Structure 1
Amino acid sequence: MPTKTHLLLITLAAATFVSCKATTELVYLNVLKPAPVTIPAYVKSAGVVNRTTINPQNKAIDVVDRIFSLEGAQLDKEGAQSSVGGLADELRKNNRFNEVKALGELDLTTNAPGLFSAPLSWETVDKICREYQVDALFSLELFDTDSKISYAAIPVSLKTPFGNVPGIEHRASMLTSVKTGWRIYDPAGRNILDEFALNRDLTFSGRGINPVAAAGALINRKEAVKTVGIQAGQNYGMRIIPYRTRVTRDYYVKGTDNFRIARRKAQTGNWDGAAVLWKKETTNPDRTVAGRACYNMAIICEINGELDLAIKWSQKAYEEYNNRLALNYIRLLKNRKAGNEVLKQQEVE
């Protein structure tokens, strides 16, 4: 059976794992999945804004939050700037847009420190997109760090000119949670294409002869938070890009001599040769053998990107021969077919 050129780049490897009854083995397929977020084809340029500045009316709430969470005055601000930069860089790399503009803060504010604010008004979104000539707006709507610190006093042996003497070492540890939240605004469609939050925890530790010295070792966390901010922006940028994942399929290796020979062909990568033998068995008078052969024909059709034909073969395996694997496989194939339709929508000319 000839291999077709299709949207999905599929790499295959026959697995050596055998089921408990030794009637099936696994084949691995590396398939392309749709991006979690579909950007309309008419969106050719994007702006990236930072909307994490606290509205002056909510400053008091934010100050209290910072006191209790041990946050530095500039930590959230610099982390948010890094995150916006990370997203803009990632969007430029993936070539989805003709142009990506990092627009900064633009006097945008949030009314809910540590939470998603209400979406920007479409009037505001329209104004920004017209002024900066972009088709969509990626907005960092939330950047919040929350830190918890703990101390412990540990008995240790201290070396002195007079020998080892008992002492106390103070140890401090800090858990910093970094939370980011994003929205994508499509003004032409009046649609918020995505609203998504990302969380990352960082752990810092320090030690010293007293609590102050131990805590002083935690000061360098700002650079780590900025690095996490950059990574959060980069990771969010990947949500608009189709991605590859590995899936497994069972195929039958026992039933007749042709199945055993086909197994060896599959193990060497000769799937088309295996398919020739499986097709011969689709008319076998033994209903179990014929059902397995029809099911395996569906597998080779999926390998070759012929999903419609794969569905027909798997339907035949289940409807005519009551093959035990075929029914679930039909659902998997239909899901993949639906995913392919989304992939077509995500293609950009």
Structure 2
Amino acid sequence: MKKYMWAGIILAATMLVSCGGLQTFTFDQLHPAEVTFPEQVRTIAVVNHAPSIPSPKKTLLTLGKLEGDGKVLAESLAGGLADSRYFNQVIISDSVLTQERTGGELIPQAVVDSLSQVLGADMILSVDQIQLLTAKKEIYYPGFVPLAAFDLKIRPVVRAYVPSRLMPVMTIAKVDSLLWDFSPTLSDHDVVKEGSNHAAYMLVNQLVPHWMNADRIYFDGGNPDMRDAAVSLREGDWQEAGRIWKNLYDSVKKGKLKSRAAFNMALACEVQGQMDEANAWIEKARKSASPGSEEEHAATFYATILQERTKDFLKLNLQMQRFGNNFN
């Protein structure tokens, strides 16, 4: 069973790299969660509050609506949060809330207070529902026969409760998609299990800071110093690479080499978490570039990325205060 996940592709970067002198670079970058918890929230309890479902069949594939497995989601969510090491402790409680229900009901305040006390939790995360919507679709690639695919849309509903509060402090209900090859062996059992596990992956990325690959471009060659700095980059020695690029920028009066050195300095600053400096250097790169040049296009493109990263970094700093803003 082959599975695909939709992801954004930086097409502009791919086009730029086709130009001479530009290379690609990939590194791990910490991204902020969509939710920011108070620093006092140190212990989280995950409970399964989703309706029970019949065991999914291995001989049937449903096109239409399905319900995910709350037990699988709760366990995977608790495991993912524990692996992130963002909270001091993550507790899984799968058997406390087992009453028959149809989905959507809130946990009474008295139950929240009791659970929090028994489990020693600062916050309760309640897995309330996992809605699955399946469909068959065709994928078209130029010059190829259309491929039959199985499309799965996933919408988990999770609520957060704190003691002494009547209503949930937060509700998360975000839709994501998975795409499979349409296989005769695919069944409801596979769909429910994979969909429930993927829902946990979605939620972990929303709830805690997480590492993702970041794709960037940089200028290489054209000058011995640029080549030496590129070697330092590939070895992970950003301080040495930055020293070479800064000296080159200061020694050149104008032209594309000055712009390229400033562009690479912006990258070195971003990788090291120095966002103000990165934005300043990319502006220098733009000002040093000739109008309409490869250097101007690259700097304009990168400036947009740095603006978004700067916004993320402000949020990330707030979320990482509990660790003294140590991002390692």
What TM-score do you get using the length of structure 1 for normalisation?
Answer: 0.60
Are the structure 2 counterparts of residues 346 and 184 from structure 1 closer, same or farther at C-alpha, using a change threshold of 3 Å?
A: farther
1:102 Cα deviation after fit: 1.4
Equivalences for 1:1-349 in 2 at 5 Å?
19-43=17-41, 44-52=43-51, 79-95=69-85, 96-102=87-93, 104=95, 105-107=97-99, 109-110=101-102, 117=104, 120=106, 124-133=107-116, 134-143=121-130, 181-187=156-162, 191-197=169-175, 205=184, 224=190, 227-228=193-194, 231-232=197-198, 234-236=200-202, 238-239=204-205, 240-267=207-234, 269-283=236-250, 284-321=252-289, 323-324=295-296, 325-347=298-320, 348=322
Q: How many residues align?
A: 268
Are the structure 2 counterparts of residues 100 and 125 from structure 1 closer, same or farther at C-alpha, using a change threshold of 3 Å?
A: farther
Deviations 1:213-262 (A, max 9, x none): xxxxx9xx686567447624643552323222222222222454433444
1:31 Cα deviation after fit: 1.1
SS in 2 for 1:110: coil
Alignment partners' CA distance in 2, 1:331 and 1:70: 41
Task: Structure 2: state its 5+ residue gaps.
Answer: 1-14, 54-61, 136-149, 324-328
1:313 Cα deviation after fit: 1.3
| Bigger Rg over Cα | 1
SS in 2 for 1:196: coil
Task: Structure 1: state its 5+ residue gaps.
Answer: 1-16, 55-68, 112-116, 149-174, 207-217
Aligned-pair identity (%) = 19
Residue 8 of structure 1 is matched in structure 2 by: none
Alignment partners' CA distance in 2, 1:328 and 1:251: 12
Preserved contact between residue 21 and residue 219 of structure 2 (Cα < 8 Å): yes
Aligned AA (2:257): V
Alignment partners' CA distance in 2, 1:247 and 1:201: 23
Deviations 1:148-201 (A, max 9, x none): 9xxxxxxxxxxxxxxxxxxxxxxxxxx897956222224459532422346668
Mean alpha-carbon deviation: is it higher for 32-41 or for 91-100? Answer: 91-100
1:144 Cα deviation after fit: 5.6
Higher normalized strand content (fraction of residues): 1
User: What is the aligned-residue RMSD (CA, Å)?
Assistant: 4.1
Alignment partners' CA distance in 1, 2:101 and 2:312: 37
